């Protein structure tokens, strides 16, 4: 717990697949693929990775000119690379923007995230392919993205950081001071919460006790009284239905008798 952080300092596919980074077994096939992958970053990519931003969730109609217009307000841009499909030439919805100064990079990282460009809310983060050790891209089962519907959620990034693990104390025989010292090493806050919870429980019992006594004084519990009311309502409903049926039958008999009289006339 001492070295725990919500953002991953080193990429581990098994940890990235866990909501708090504590999983010991992969829960989907993509994690297995990422663990078995031997990925080497693209050596053809140029530029300083420590001055480069990753911009995702772009509108497919967004162009380099639009990105330059928006991101140049944070500082001088050295290069913009909008990733496109090799066959169709259409945008894939993400880009890399390299700044000339670190100050501009940090300002854009802070202010441009969740910015709306061409009716799309974008996501901005630092480039991780060349800066995060052990990085595995999404297409090989890694990354920090994913959707709940696909069952391949990834954690540890800016968009979905790790949740803090919950460490529950061992309760066996610890009330009597038994067990190892490590097991008895509870925090004072936890002890106070436990005592407060018990005290609140006792107070609520004291509040409920007069109500129970009143119900016992009348000779029946609330459950019995409710069941009796339900039975009486059921009998009333049956009686009402029986009266309605008798009324309908009498009307049918009167109608039939009237038709017979008319026929004999």
Kindly report, residue by residue over 152-201, the tens digit of the pLDDT.
899 999 999 999 888 655 444 444 344 444 444 444 444 444 445 555 55
pLDDT tens-digit map of 1-16: 567 889 999 999 999 9
Rounded to an integer, what distance in angstroms lies between the CA atom of residue 110 and that of residue 222?
A: 60
pTM: 0.61
| 108: its two tokens | 């854009």
**Sequence-distant (≥ 6) Cβ neighbours of residue 121 within 8 angstroms:** 57, 114, 115
Phi, then psi, of 166 in degrees rounded to 5: -100, 115
Helical H segments across the chain, by residue range: 13-16, 29-36, 64-71, 102-111, 188-217, 222-264
Of residues 218 and 198, which shows the higher confidence score? Answer: 198
Rounded to an integer, what distance in angstroms lies between the CA atom of residue 235 and that of residue 250?
A: 23
Q: How many CB atoms lie within 10 A of CB 124?
A: 21
Q: How many CB atoms lie within 10 A of CB 183?
A: 14
Whole-number mean pLDDT of the chain? 81
| 191: its two tokens | 């002890």
pLDDT of residue 182: 44
Terminal-residue alpha carbon distance, the chain: 102
Residue with tokens 């967004």: 62
C-alpha distances (whole Å) from 78 to each of 62, 66, 103 are 19, 15, 14
Secondary structure class of 52 (helix, strand, coil) = strand
Rounded to an integer, what distance in angstroms lies between the CA atom of residue 244 and that of residue 48?
A: 87
pLDDT at 251 over 50: yes
pLDDT at 204 over 70: no
Mode of pairing for the β-strands spanning 52-56 and 123-126: antiparallel
pLDDT at 58 over 60: yes
Rounded to an integer, what distance in angstroms lies between the CA atom of residue 112 and that of residue 50?
A: 17
Secondary structure class of 185 (helix, strand, coil) = coil
Question: Residue 202: pLDDT band by 50, 70, 90 thresholds?
Answer: low
Which one, of 45, 56, 73, 210, lies nearest residue 131 by Cα?
A: 45
Contact criterion met (CB below 8 Å) for 90 and 60: yes
Of residues 95 and 165, which shows the higher confidence score? Answer: 95
């Amino acid at each position: 717990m001492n070295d725990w952080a919500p953002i991953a300092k080193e990429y581990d596919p098994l940890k990235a697949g866990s909501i708090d980074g504590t999983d010991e077994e992969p829960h989907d096939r993509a994690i297995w693929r990422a663990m078995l992958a031997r990925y080497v970053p693209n050596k053809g990519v140029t530029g300083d990775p420590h001055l480069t931003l990753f911009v995702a969730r772009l509108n497919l109609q967004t162009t380099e000119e639009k990105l330059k217009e928006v991101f140049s307000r944070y500082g001088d841009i050295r290069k913009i690379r909008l990733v496109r499909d090799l066959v169709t030439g259409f945008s894939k919805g993400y880009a890399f923007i390299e700044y000339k100064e670190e100050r501009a990079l940090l300002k854009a990282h802070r202010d441009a995230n969740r910015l709306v460009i061409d009716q799309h809310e974008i996501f901005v983060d630092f480039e991780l392919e060349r800066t995060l050790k052990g990085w595995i891209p999404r297409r090989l089962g890694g990354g920090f993205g994913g959707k709940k519907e696909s069952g391949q959620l990834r954690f540890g990034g800016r968009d979905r950081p790790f949740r803090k693990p919950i460490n529950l104390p061992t309760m066996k025989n610890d009330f009597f001071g038994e067990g190892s010292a490590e097991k008895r090493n509870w925090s004072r806050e936890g002890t106070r919460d436990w005592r407060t919870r018990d005290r609140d429980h006792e107070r609520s019992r004291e509040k409920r006790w007069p109500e129970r006594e009143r119900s016992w004084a009348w000779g029946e519990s609330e459950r019995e009284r409710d069941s009796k009311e339900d039975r009486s309502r059921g009998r009333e409903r049956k009686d009402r239905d029986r009266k309605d049926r008798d009324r309908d039958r009498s009307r049918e008999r009167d109608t039939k008798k009237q038709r017979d009289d008319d026929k004999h006339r």
